[in-house]
Amino acid sequence: MSSLPVATALKSAAEFFQRLTTVRAHEARLTVGLDVGSTSVKAVALGARKGAVGLRPIIGQSLTPLPAEKDADPVEAIKAAVDGLRVPVAWVNLAVSGPWVILRIIELPKMKPQELKQALPFEAQRYLPFNIQDVVIDGAALGPSEGNKAWVVIVACKKDLLERRIDWARRAGFGVELIDVDALALTNGFLAGANSHRSEGTRAVINVGGQLTNLVVLRGEIPYLVRDIPWGGEKLARHLSEQTGLPAEVVSQELAQAEPRPEMPNALKLSSEALVTELQLSFDYFENRFNQPPEEVLVSGGLSQSNAFLNVLKSQMTQTVTSWTPTPELSGQFAVAYGLALRTD
């Protein structure tokens, strides 16, 4: 099975966001989104559209746990996840996130695409904690701002991270068609599946992973705030185990229960305070900038299936909090993989 050379894949990565938050007409071919997280690999395969309108059909979904060992090689789990789709796959779409990915949404004077491309490295240097020679930089105009300005997303990713992801796919036997960012894949999945009332107003979409929570705040169809919060299900489970004295596997079982044991809600509240604080700081920042806080928080990721976790968020936040998945056929764990599968650049 052919694979994409690193140099070619990095070129694709440098073209990250030619379409950030719109879903174009898609070619009549299979696409696979592969979300390699910290605890599992999720894969979604999409087929061609059923006619001129409507969502593309999901023709496969698969989840494979990663080995429990720290820094375990994910190649075998990638193979198993893609094999679980039960369709022939040669190419996959991947994503990156975390501290090696810098994403900012800023205002710039309106300019032509070529002018923007030339301006991006100079603007990116304001935000980079890395040597500019060590990163791939790209961006795109999102939409008009006031006056003669436009909202622009700038993304920089360390080449080491890109090369590592590409190498995983190559050793698993697959080529890499494109590389996105988790939070923007989440955005794309949200907009593809959003009904009319959710494509208007201001709302936050979060994806709670094992180590990170991806946050996107949208006004209408444009994401104006995107960030990764260093908090996830692994930290929650560890804190709950420490507070309750329960083994990790029992904690996981309790989170899945409709009515967990009496000591769990208070322990959950204490363990979730760090996430709630970070979300509230982000919402306060957004309100100060745009004079409107999010009206709703939509929760995806593995913990979106835990009523106990959702109830804790509801008790601590002023916004409406609901579990969310882009389509009825998928659980919230597949939100990023679905958004990746939508990409056909």
Is the separation of the CB atoms in 36 and 209 below 8 Å?
no
Structure tokens at 286: 């957004």
Is the separation of the CB atoms in 95 and 338 below 8 Å?
no
The architecture that CATH gives domain 196-323 is 2-Layer Sandwich (3.30)
Mean pLDDT along residues 305-309: 94
Confidence of residue 52 (pLDDT cuts 50, 70, 90): low
What integer pLDDT is reported at residue 4 of this predicted model?
35
Q: Residue 18: is its pLDDT beyond 70?
A: no
Confidence of residue 144 (pLDDT cuts 50, 70, 90): confident
User: At residue 275, what are phi and psi to the nearest 5 degrees?
Assistant: -65, -45
User: Where in the chain are the domains?
Assistant: 196-323
Contacts of 87 (CB under 8 A, 6+ apart): 30, 45, 59, 60
Q: How far apart are the first and last CA of the chain?
A: 21
Nearest to 45 by CA among 300, 345, 326, 342: 342
Q: Is the dihedral of CA 218, 223, 224, 229 positive or negative?
A: positive
Amino acid at site 10: L
Is the separation of the CB atoms in 25 and 55 below 8 Å?
no
CA distance 211 to 202: 26
Mean pLDDT along residues 100-127: 90
Is the separation of the CB atoms in 187 and 218 below 8 Å?
yes
pLDDT digits (tens, 9 = 90+) for 190-238: 988 755 446 678 999 999 999 999 999 999 888 999 999 999 999 999 9
* Side-chain half-sphere exposure of 63, counting CA atoms within 13 A: 16
Confidence of residue 297 (pLDDT cuts 50, 70, 90): very high
